[in-house]
Amino acid sequence: MLMGATMLTALILVCSLASVPDLAACTRDNALQVVQVPEAFANPVTCFMHGQAYLAETTIGRELAANEAVKVICTRGRSAQVGALPPVEPTDR
């Protein structure tokens, strides 16, 4: 990795397709759940894949309703900070 390169942060949004039928319109503001992955990644593919895997290890990921969809957003720098939301801890299987 290059020195000074900006790392990517994964945000996972769980949206209801009943209220947001177009997943492209799913945002932090209208998501049912917002989870920030507590790691940073060097490239978008790694960020996206780890975001999906992280959610799959949580209760939220395993208990998705049929009308819920997941959107993983990988952003550079601090723009992904969720604020006061604590990270969701993966649960044992």
Q: How far apart are CA 82 and CA 60, in angstroms?
A: 17
Range of the domain at 12: 8-78
Number of domains in the chain: 1
Q: Is residue 89 part of a domain?
A: no
Q: What is the pLDDT of residues 32-76, one digit of tens each?
A: 999 999 999 999 999 999 999 999 999 999 999 999 999 999 998
Tokens of 15: 């949206």
Q: Is residue 53 part of a domain?
A: yes
Q: Is residue 20 part of a domain?
A: yes
Q: Is residue 84 part of a domain?
A: no
pLDDT of res. 6: 82
3 state DSSP class of 49:
helix
Q: Is residue 88 part of a domain?
A: no
Across the chain, mean pLDDT equals: 84
Q: How far apart are CA 87 and CA 35, in angstroms?
A: 6
